[in-house]
Amino acid sequence: MPPYRAPRGTRDLLPEVRARLSRLESVARSLAARYGYREMEIPLFEQTAVFERGIGEATDVVEKELFRIAPRTEESEAWALRPEATAGVVRAYVQHGLQTLPQPVKLTVVGPMFRYDRPQAGRYRQFWQFDAEAIGDPGPAVDAEIVELGYRFYVEAGLSGVQVLLNSIGDRACRPAYLATLKAYFAEHAAQLPELELRRLDTNPLRLLDSKDPAMTALVAAAPKISDHLCEACSAHFEAVAAHLDAMGVPYRLEPTLVRGLDYYTRTAFEYYRSGAEGQQQALGGGGRYDGLVELLGGRPTPGIGFALGLDRVLLALDETGAEAAHETPPLAVVVGADPADTVARLRVASLLRAEGLFARAELSPRKLGRQLEAASKDHAHFAVIIGDELAEGNVQLKDLEAGTQRVVPLVDLARELARAAKSHHHG
């Protein structure tokens, strides 16, 4: 066993996996741009208070999973690696006065997040998310749009059978009364509650509906439904969200126990699952409305909604379903040489091709030509550029590795010939 390994709960993204992840990131960025979401970056770490205030101190994320950074001195700020992007995006919205821009402000972040969580399949301490936020629109149309954006991402990523689970968790007007009813219900069954859920009963009773403990299944199923306690405004908002989703043909299922795990959510809450793969740790992503979060982080009252989609989960799901998630792009050409020792000429020609924007690899090993061509074929290259005696006259041999044909091409025309082949996908 090697003496040094990646930290527990993390993994190295080797080239093939990194290429697949990059492909998902590209799909996410392309979709976000089409929907009018502008990409931004936020720090990988924030003041701990941003998460404690925004996410909620009584949530699992803050209580158990926050990846805190130890300060060097007592004067240093308390920091934590970002467990999600929403709180950081909203902090930036407030800090930089984005409320002065035309609303809503639509923003997206694609990148790694961190949670000090117990490692398990599909749940890492460093993981990748596609995050989208629409701040400044009370909905419900924007709610449906962002739900559809997430659903469209899975379609374009190549993952079939994805379904939306949808719920409303009310707002400040109607949720307090529901929480009192919910707390009274679970208090009657306190003797049946596991230790963790018993603590949540006092700190955050809504989270009991989100319990992953099998002992809670029957109790949760019989618990009062928030859909029966929504105020008129929340009920009308939720009906409008569903109507918009129906109009767009987005498949969804009403799920009255869906509450999401963060304190800042209000009204619309949603998650994405693969059909037949629901249950603990199976959610591909989710999100919801957070109309009070901007105010919590120092801004004036401003509505917002967003989602976070786990890209690692998508890669695993694509593997499980056998769907193609794209492989690394092969080189258009590999430059090889008849003289095994003449790496200078091979590297010079490859450099000329790269300067023209072409993906070319130079074979720099001192192997015989036959072995160089074998390596080019294993790379799935379209062409091999063979450097031989013709170079003295300004020519090279261009070999179509798929068709097996070979012809002489002037070096000055080589980049243009390869570019034409790359554009048309016609070799030879």
Query: In this predicted model, what pLDDT tens digit does every residue of 259-276 receive, in sequence order?
Result: 765 667 889 999 999 876
Task: Say how far apart CA 294 and CA 199 lie, in whole Å.
Answer: 28
- Please, is 170 exposed, middle or buried when counting C-beta atoms within 10 Å of its C-beta (0-12, 13-18, 19+)? buried
Q: Which two tokens stand for residue 412?
A: 């000055």
DSSP class of 387: E
Query: In this predicted model, what pLDDT tens digit does every residue of 86-113 receive, in sequence order?
Result: 999 999 999 999 999 999 999 999 999 9
Query: In this predicted model, what pLDDT tens digit does every residue of 227-259 receive, in sequence order?
Result: 888 999 999 999 999 999 999 989 999 988 887
Q: Report residue 212's pLDDT band, with 50, 70 and 90 as the boundaries.
A: confident
With residue 50 as reference, give the H or E element that holds it: helix 48-54
Among 24, 76, 28, which residue's Cα sits nearest to residue 48?
Answer: 76
Query: For residue 387, how many other CB atoms are within 10 A of its CB?
Result: 26
In DSSP notation, 344-382 reads HHHHHHHHHHHHTT--EEE--S---HHHHHHHHHHTT-S
Ramachandran class of 276: left when φ > 0, alpha when ψ lies in -120 to 50, beta otherwise: left
Q: Which structural domains are found in the chain, ordered by start?
A: 15-174+230-321 (3.30.930.10), 333-424 (3.40.50.800)
Which is more confident, 362 or 63?
Answer: 362
Type of residue numbered 311: L
- pLDDT for 56 equals 56
Give the relative orientation of helices 141-157 and 232-248 as an angle to the nearest 10 degrees.
40
Task: List Cα–Cα distances, 213 to 61, 207, 227, 254, in angstroms.
Answer: 17, 12, 23, 22
Which sign, positive or negative, has the C-alpha torsion 166, 172, 178, 183? positive
